[in-house]
Amino acid sequence: MRQQFLIPSIVASGLILSACAKETEQEKVERTLQEVNVIDETNLNDVLLTSADPNEAVTYFHGAAAKNPDRIDLQRGLAISLSRAKRTTEAAAAWKRVTSMKGTNAADKVEYADALVRNGDWAKAKTVLDSVPPTFETFKRYRLEALVADSRKDWKRADHFYETAVGLTTRPGGVMNNWGYSKLTRGQFAEAERLFTDAIRQDNSLFTAKNNLVLARSAQGNYSLPVVPMSQAERAMLLNTMGISAVKQGDVTTAKNLFREAIATHPQHFDEAVRSLRALEEA
């Protein structure tokens, strides 16, 4: 009798083991699918952060982060997207949230400071930068340190940080332009002229640096155009800038001539220069 009950027990055990085996296989399949989904999501995140429309990326990461509020990668993606979309107030709030999460790093703090600078919160930006470890040495960190020092008129620190930032990038044109503008605001026109010239040498597409260069030259009484690459439209706009500078310095005759030359040079109608010239002639 004992043998009769043994056979069903063995069969039942076999069925249980078979079910366990099938369950294990199913778990493996589900785990594999989850891994594939993570890979797909990572690729999608990368695409959205680099090539997608910034506001579309904001919509995606806002929804994803709402469903997974503890995932720092999604919160970081939202903050990056808001920064790219130039939604500075929201970006600052998003980066603040990222810096309070588990897994945050020094780079997140630098991005938070960048958002604060763009939002005009210089005091808070300084506090955040002060919390970044001194061993974290990047171009962006030192560029921000220089800008914050500039805002406080701490010229010695500003010069130190600008110089450090220039040495940490292969494309220093933009930071040289910032440094030159700092010198311009201090009244150090010759130094400003040198830095703007260096910035254009690094990147001759920087029209802001060209415009700043003629401001620095005009402040020294030099109303001749610098020898730098420029289009016909850029030439006209630079002549107009020099005309405005001449007016501010009380040199009305020079200003009129510069406005006339700007009008004649521009490939299209140059309304701004026309208005300025008319105002001077009527005055």
Tokens linked to 110: 């630098």
Integer Cα distance of 235 and 232 in angstroms: 5
Tokens linked to 251: 């040199």
pLDDT of residue 48: 74
CATH of domain 30-103: 1.25.40
* DSSP-assigned states of every residue in 24-50: HHHHHHHHHHHHHHHHHHHHHHHHHHH
Q: 168 in helix, strand or coil?
A: coil
Q: Over 50: is that where the pLDDT of 108 sits? A: yes
pLDDT of residue 102: 95
User: For the residues 106-110, what does the mean pLDDT come to?
Assistant: 97
pLDDT of residue 41: 57
Q: CA angle, corner 268, sides to 270 and 280, nearest 5?
A: 20
Q: CA angle, corner 102, sides to 97 and 107, nearest 5?
A: 70
Q: CA angle, corner 209, sides to 214 and 175, nearest 5?
A: 140
pLDDT of residue 158: 97
Taking phi over 0 as left and psi of -120 to 50 as alpha, with beta for the rest, 52 belongs to beta
Tokens linked to 124: 């808070």
User: For the residues 194-218, what does the mean pLDDT come to?
Assistant: 97
CB 258 within 8 A of CB 215: no
Taking phi over 0 as left and psi of -120 to 50 as alpha, with beta for the rest, 203 belongs to beta
CATH architecture of 105-170: Alpha Horseshoe (1.25)
Q: CA angle, corner 234, sides to 280 and 276, nearest 5?
A: 10
Q: Which residue from 201, 162, 207 is spatially nearest to 180, judged by alpha carbons?
A: 162
Q: Over 50: is that where the pLDDT of 13 sits? A: no
Which amino acid is present at 161? F
Give residue-wise pLDDT tens across range 135-174: 999 999 999 999 999 999 999 999 999 999 999 999 999 9
Estimate to the nearest angstrom the gap between the alpha carbon of 78 and the chain centroid.
15
Integer Cα distance of 31 and 19 in angstroms: 18
| Domain coordinates in residue numbering, the chain | 30-103, 105-170
Tokens linked to 230: 């420029």
